Homo-oligomer: A and B are copies of this chain.
Amino acid sequence: MSTPSVEDYLKAIYKARTNAEDVTSQDIAARVGVSGAAVSKMLRRLTELRLAEHTPYHGVRLTKAGEKIALEIIRHHRLLERYLVEALGYSWDQVHVEAERLEHHISEEFEARIDALLGYPATCPHGDPIPARDGSVPAIRGTALSSQSDAATLVVERVGDTDAKLLRYFDGLGLRPGAVIEFVEREPFGGAFLVRFAGTLVRVAPEAADQLFVGACGNLRAGSEEPCSTSGVERRVVE
């Protein structure tokens, strides 16, 4: 078995790779929250463990084995987030921190049981896809609202999950995965993004718009039963 620390690095490398083609050590360091030197050392270890391939001063890539572990941990994380919300009544801004610790310590048995109890959900409460047990991952959907330029009807696919304050902000506005919004325009000089939602005009702050990922409204979200509803509320799993 791998240690929680190894798992954290694998997860960070995996996530960094889905964003940028080249994974930099700095990026990993920032994600894991350690110094660059710690990253260097760990990359050597991961290479020895055959979980990654690291050519010094150049890139890192996860091996099949490394990716498998990364996906297992991400699966644990997102299932746990979902479980904490659905079964224990956590709010969606609390779950990230709790899942971050628990993801390293639950058994496969635990994972399987909460998965079944939740009815095999496709996404976490923030809209990120839950990797399947076989290692397949549904495509990550949506582009940041902040990169939107033309007016359009859009559906919220997912939101950034790390900043609790931001999540409470979204929650206050009613902006959750599944919500259908109409992008109107951006206020000038780095201003807010104007969005019509549930009949009213909402101003989404620039930094919030970076963390709000939207898709074309015709795009059905996997597992979403009301692709273009305006309720803005995710379906709850009822036992």
A117 to B89, CA, bound (A): 10
Q: Are the C-beta atoms of A105 and B102 separated by less than 8 Å? A: yes
Q: How far is the CB of A214 from chain B (nearest CB, A)?
A: 31
Residues of B within 8 A of A97 (CB): 107
Residues of B within 8 A of A117 (CB): 88
The total of chain A residues at the interface (CB under 8 A) is 20
CA distance A107 to B107 in the complex (A): 18
Stretch at the interface among A26-34, A38-46, A108-116, A199-207: A108-116
Bound complex: CA of A101 vs CA of B97, how far in Å?
18
Interface bits A51-92 vs B (CB < 8 Å: 1, else 0) = 000000000000000000000000000000000100111100
A140 interfacial contact with B, CB 8 Å? no
Q: Looking across the interface, which residue of chain B has its beta carbon closest to that of A89?
A: B113
CB pair A106–B102 under 8 Å, yes or no, is yes
Interface pair B105/A88, CB less than 8 Å apart = no
